[in-house]
Amino acid sequence: MLIEFSKMHGLGNDFVFIDSRETGIHFSDTELQDLSISICDRHHGIGADGLVVIKRSDSCDIKFIIYNSDGSRARMCGNAIRCLSWYIYEKDTDKKTALRVETDSGIVCPVLIPRENNKKHMIRVDMGKPVFAPDKIPCLSKSPKVIDEVLNTEVEEFRINAVSMGNPHAVIFVEDVNGIDIEKKGKSIENHPFFPQRTNIEFIKIISENEVLMRVWERGAGETLACGTGACAAAVVCIDSNLTANRVSVRLSGGLLDIEWDGKDGNVYMTGPATHVFDGVIKI
């Protein structure tokens, strides 16, 4: 079977897109889990951090489903949502700059901001409200809010801040972001029983009231060059603790994301670029 695909990335966090609206081919969840493992393999497949499947939606402009490179299904992905916005704008004839996207974490609303002089278009995404309640993240804390809570692992003791941005995150402040053994530390936290659905981990350092440095370990994918929901989680933790201003540039390995949150009951807004790399056909 031949499948058409598009390769996209948001700050180096890369995805293979399959548009089932066009192919007319529909896979079961199990089939897509297996397909994501083979397609995302960087040696034997196309290579990506995740597989995105686009479907028609009864309630929104589009339905978005994403699988990690290990075959697990993710609920949301900020970088992939920005890529989706650019994909739809490029491919669809009506050229919508604002979308309502159905995801496993609810409705997400990206808006494309066109730019002139061949500069990359930016996409601003309404990421919804952050969730601090442990049972909603989910994590097994007895506190009403996980702030600077001790987590003992087989590697070391960590002090974590947990929040959900449509998927679980553990934000950890460190002195040297670039010097940490992120694979060793990331794995020990990702798979800790404290997070029954595993978690993404953000290792961050505050540079100024308007800038945060971050590396991310994503559940199901390992270290990636960028994570949109992770950047939101990092900014939310900093803003909620009055450590930064309400608008923060999060500097990731792949580039910058602009995150805004009023620190109250408002929604989080993420702004960043998306890139269409190439189109192709793969035999499966």
Question: Which residues are annotated as catalytic?
Answer: 77, 227
Report which of 62, 142, 64 is spatially closest to residue 103, judged by C-alpha positions.
64
Residue 87 CB partners (closer than 8 Å, separation 6+): 6, 8, 17, 19, 54, 274, 276
3-state secondary structure 169-187: EEEEECCCCCCCCHHHHHH
Quote the DSSP letter at residue 137.
Answer: T
Report which of 70, 33, 64, 26 is spatially closest to residue 48, judged by C-alpha positions.
70
Residues 234 and 202: their CA atoms lie apart, in Å, by 7
Residue 203 CB partners (closer than 8 Å, separation 6+): 172, 174, 177, 180, 182, 185, 214, 215, 216, 217
Task: State which amino acid sits at residue 107.
Answer: I
Tokens standing for residue 172: 């950890």
Residues 218 and 50: their CA atoms lie apart, in Å, by 11
Report which of 61, 172, 66 is spatially closest to residue 108, judged by C-alpha positions.
61
